[in-house]
Chain A
Amino acid sequence: MSQLHDLTVAQLAAKLRSRQVSAVEAARHFLARGARHEALGAYLATNEEVTLGQAEAADRQLEAGSAGPLTGVPIAHKDIFVTRDFPTTAGSRMLEGYLSPFDATVVSRLSQAGMVTLGKLNCDEYAMGSSNENSAFKPVKNPWDTSRIPGGSSGGSAVAVAARLAPAATGTDTGGSIRQPASFTGITGIKPTYGRASRYGMIAFASSLDQAGPMARTAEDCALLLSAICGPDPDRDSTSLDVPAEDFSRSLDASIEGLRIGVPREFFGAGLADDVRAVIDAALQQYQKLGARLVEISLPRTELSIPVYYIIAPAEASSNLSRFDGVKFGHRARQYGDLLEMYKQTREEGFGDEVKRRIMIGTYVLSHGYYDAYYLQAQKIRRMIADDFRQAFTQCDVIAGPVAPTVAWKIGEKSDDPVANYLADIFTLPASLAGLPGMSLPAGSGAGDMPVGLQLIGNYFGEAKLLNAAHRFQQATDFHLRKPEGF
């Protein structure tokens, strides 16, 4: 039998139900691995007592036969989700040691499904970043090459799964923060349609873009987890849609014969690195072998999505982060004169460079005299981008392309060039702006034998079809089974 940590969520769940392994054993095993590989920087908080307590409760359910499909399976949460039993920092000094009086809806839904929480995972500060170098506490290292970044902002989540420190993790995706690190670490991750998952308890970065989603090793696992995560939260989140929860596993095995896969020519321009291009081309050929049809489409405003996103997201962030003022919770400066100084000094000390940069950009584009030229203009082009997708989906069922122009880069390589980081988000931003579901699945390796992910973008509420297409791909390939040396 393969080792416990090599099992997928589905396999582990089966072993738990058949009592070949107990939830407590599983929990201990993964806690131990987390400790052994602490150097990766994936975890920000663990609490053995809490975790084992949950595991024991899960075992009782498993004994009683009242277990669900996820009961007893360990999971770890991105530290952007507030939790009652673990401190929540959002990767920021500002919130060091913060204890939330409530659990995020996503967290409580997964707990109710019987999952056992291993701890909180490192991420870019307030989910702002694509390399995880913006964590205030420590960088996260890519297990495929620890001199490289794991991607971000859900870098800790991606590494925990890739390095087998957890069978699955939650992530959040605002402009690609699930898809890009999944691609860089060779795992599978999905961001649902905006409004599918409750945002309650997810520390807000950009309210009109933030979505939670699962990160795991297979599409099958993602389907299981997504079914537990999604569903209306009418009492807590006004942006949560009145769309009933779905069983996303139902059509995993359905044939994709005749599936029309749209290939946006703008995703294959000069900016795309050859090694990545080769992997994506091969993946598309694989889909043809599986009976899918490739359709060339156009998303003419792909490049515009960068300025549009980097105006809208910082604008919303500048306002969302105003509550961090040293009054009700979080850091307060030691040295200050009057109230104004207290604010300024507290926020200066509490926020990192990238967060301050985005607060500055967002404050500027909303400020008097600039709103129409920047924020409003961006919101208009945002609609045009959404319309481009609507047009595209008249010709295809799903859209496929690269997640990122390159493989994971070296730690420090771009850290003093924020704009370079922004430009690297080009392929994940359009779906985010349109509120569409998107995912990344392992499709091979590029330069330095680093993983390369294939991005699939679905139509609104098309998650089941995405997962079906991804699952069929994974039935025919083994990229998702590869694991980094020494893990």
Chain B
Amino acid sequence: MSLNSEDISRIANLARLQLRPDESERMLTQINNFFDVVEQMRAVDTSGVEPLAHPVAAFQEVALRLRDDVASEVIDREANMRNAPAREAGLFLVPKVIE
């Protein structure tokens, strides 16, 4: 299967990327070249195979570690927010959010 330019713009929008036209062009060719490599994978018979989401699960039982419910974090708002592109009154500022 191969992608077309509509796919590219749909995905770019989903991924919030403002691709330039020439960029989209190149992206389309490169991604389609990549999916040629992917084809061999789609043919593999994987019926009855359990997907491996955590590599460790391949050799031992994995279970989520749980922490006790204690609010021990010491919060330094200034340090946490100092990299913000725009802030005011302890808030991050963004272009108007319309619901």
Which of A5-13, A289-297, A342-350, A471-479 lines the interface with chain B? A342-350
A363 to B27, CA, bound (A): 13
8 Å CB contact of A361 from B16, B31, B46, B97: B31
Contact A344 B34 (CB under 8 A): no
Contact A360 B38 (CB under 8 A): no
A367 to B15, CA, bound (A): 10
Contact A383 B67 (CB under 8 A): no
Contact B38 A307 (CB under 8 A): yes
Name the residue of chain A whose CB is nearest to the CB of B3: A364
Contact A419 B17 (CB under 8 A): no
Check if B33 is an interface residue, CB within 8 A of chain A: yes
Check if A377 is an interface residue, CB within 8 A of chain B: yes
Check if A195 is an interface residue, CB within 8 A of chain B: yes
In the assembled complex, how far is the CB of residue A301 from the closest CB belonging to chain B, in whole angstroms? 8
Name the residue of chain A whose CB is nearest to the CB of B76: A101
Contact B83 A328 (CB under 8 A): yes
Name the residue of chain B whose CB is nearest to the CB of A418: B30
Check if B71 is an interface residue, CB within 8 A of chain A: no
B interface footprint on A314-348 (CB within 8 Å = 1, 0 otherwise): 00001000100111111110001111111111011
A374 proximity list for chain B (CB < 8 A): 38, 42
Q: Specify which of B20, B42, B44, B64 lies most central, judged by the most chain A CB atoms within 10 Å of its CB.
A: B44
8 Å CB contact of B7 from A332, A344, A364, A381: A364
Check if A392 is an interface residue, CB within 8 A of chain B: no
B20-51 interface (Cβ within 8 A of A): 20, 23, 27, 30-31, 33-34, 37-38, 40-42, 44, 46, 49-51
Name the residue of chain B whose CB is nearest to the CB of A102: B79
Contact B31 A360 (CB under 8 A): yes
What band does the interface of chain A fall in when counting residues whose beta carbon is under 8 Å from B? Answer: 35 or more
Check if A61 is an interface residue, CB within 8 A of chain B: no
Contact B18 A341 (CB under 8 A): yes
Check if B90 is an interface residue, CB within 8 A of chain A: no
8 Å CB contact of A360 from B15, B85, B97: B15
Contact B37 A422 (CB under 8 A): yes
Contact A238 B19 (CB under 8 A): no
Contact B55 A364 (CB under 8 A): no
8 Å CB contact of A332 from B27, B46, B56, B85: B85
Check if A378 is an interface residue, CB within 8 A of chain B: yes
Check if B52 is an interface residue, CB within 8 A of chain A: yes
Which of A137-145, A147-155, A244-252, A351-359 lines the interface with chain B? A351-359
Known contacts A329-B83, A342-B94; A195/B56 CB under 8 A: yes
A241 to B16, CA, bound (A): 35
Check if A311 is an interface residue, CB within 8 A of chain B: yes
Q: Can you sample 27 A-B contacts with CB below 8 Å?
A: A101-B82, A194-B56, A234-B67, A241-B56, A306-B37, A326-B85, A332-B85, A339-B97, A344-B18, A356-B17, A360-B8, A360-B12, A360-B27, A373-B42, A379-B52, A380-B50, A380-B51, A381-B44, A382-B52, A383-B52, A384-B46, A386-B58, A390-B58, A390-B59, A419-B33, A422-B34, A460-B60
Q: A359-B17, A435-B58 are in contact. List 9 more A-B contacts (CB 8 A).
A: A234-B67, A304-B44, A310-B37, A343-B16, A377-B44, A377-B46, A379-B52, A382-B52, A418-B33
**7 residue pairs, one from A and one from B, having the closest CB atoms:** A435-B55, A379-B51, A329-B83, A344-B18, A332-B85, A386-B58, A383-B52
